[in-house]
Amino acid sequence: MSGFPTHPEAVTAEWLTERLRAAGELGEGEVASVSWQPIGTGQVGDSARFSLTYRGEAGPSTLAGKFPAADPTSRGTAASFGLYTKEVSFYRELAPHLDVRVPRTYAAKVDETGAEFVLLFEDMGPCRQGNQLASCSLEDARQGIRQAAAIHAPSWNDAALIDRDWLHTRPEALAQIKALYPQAQAIFAERYADTLEPELMRVCAELNEASEHWFGREGGDRCLIHGDFRLDNMLFDIRSGAEPIAVLDWQTVAVGSGLTDIGYFLGCGIGNALRREAESELIDLYCAEMTERGVPLEREAVWDDYRLGALHGVSTAVFSAAFVERTERGDANFLSMARGACSLAREHDSIGLLTGKA
């Protein structure tokens, strides 16, 4: 037994009263009743919105919660790669040291196996859920870039933040990823052979052939990275427009080049049309935001890392498609991610840069 609720149905009025009092959100009152409904489209975790009534003094009328995926394949993948442990640890240990806007957390617990967890958050609605299938406005993309800098600059080469064991892929896990990637590529290629353009599928195949150059590569300036920095993991106009943006879903937080998040966001996140129109502006904005936050950067210095960042979108789309629950929206998401990331990588010869041929 985990000692905490691991499904929305298991969340009780008594537990919510305890958590809200501990967080200073509730005084002498108590939660009288709780109901819930599913929210979000995540594939390695399930989310819910809770509606609360009170006896006596009242607290928040709604809260958001996140729990292990109901699908056993997705849950097993998440536990195997420590994704739940990473997200809980992010909120406990790292979020207070960054400038990125994340929801306030009232509970953050994970069991020793890494397979059971719960996160209880402030409800940031009403808001707009980002949707990578629909792209976004240029202003939304700018807000995303500003949040990337709010992650990267405070942690830039800061050993106190980035040298934590749970942030780094264990050697045995890295070996497992390398061993499984050819299988993932085979599944991806067969599944999407008739829907992903051949020239883009070729980029996926080339990254598989060059995987020894890709997985485990190190070097350069390091910082915290989100790892899945795309529109589906962002909320816009939160609290009816009181704030512009918040960033969610930190199960892939890691240490790496900040340009990995930028290449991923522009490749996977915003669609080719907006990326081609605003690529230069958004990279310049990132450099300006980082410089303002005390990390001077110029486009020429980050360009190659940006080109390589596109490949994170390729490998994420390929690997995730193979090892999480297959859904209609998931297929659409992975195709969108691959299409955008492969297009960026193809236009900027990311594979050639990776293999030393460009």
CATH 1.10.3210 fits 128-355, yes or no: no
Q: Tell me the three state secondary structure of residue 161.
A: helix
144-168 residue pLDDT tens = 999 999 999 999 999 999 999 999 8
- Paired strand residues for 63: 50, 122
Q: Is 333:341 a contact under the CB 8 Å cutoff?
A: no
Q: Which residue has the higher pLDDT, 216 or 119?
A: 119
In 3D, which of 317, 345, 341, 343 has the Cα closest to residue 331?
A: 317
Distance of CA 125 to the CA centre of its chain: 19
pLDDT above 60 (res 125) = yes
CATH of 8-122, one of 1.10.260.40, 3.40.250.10, 3.30.200.20, 3.50.50.60: 3.30.200.20
- Paired strand residues for 357: none
56 burial via Cβ count (<10 Å: 0-12, 13-18, 19+): exposed
The domain segmentation of the chain, as residue ranges, is 8-122, 128-355
Distance (Å, whole) CA 110 – CA 31: 24
Whether this prediction's pTM lies above 0.95 is answered by no
Whether residue 198 is preceded by a cis peptide bond, meaning omega within 30 degrees of 0, is: no
Q: Is 52:82 a contact under the CB 8 Å cutoff?
A: no
Report the Cα–Cα distance between both ends of the chain, in Å, rounded: 54
User: 288: Cβ–Cβ under 8 A, 6 or more apart, which residues?
Assistant: none
pLDDT above 70 (res 284) = yes
Tokens of 279: 């690529």
200-212 residue pLDDT tens = 999 999 999 999 9
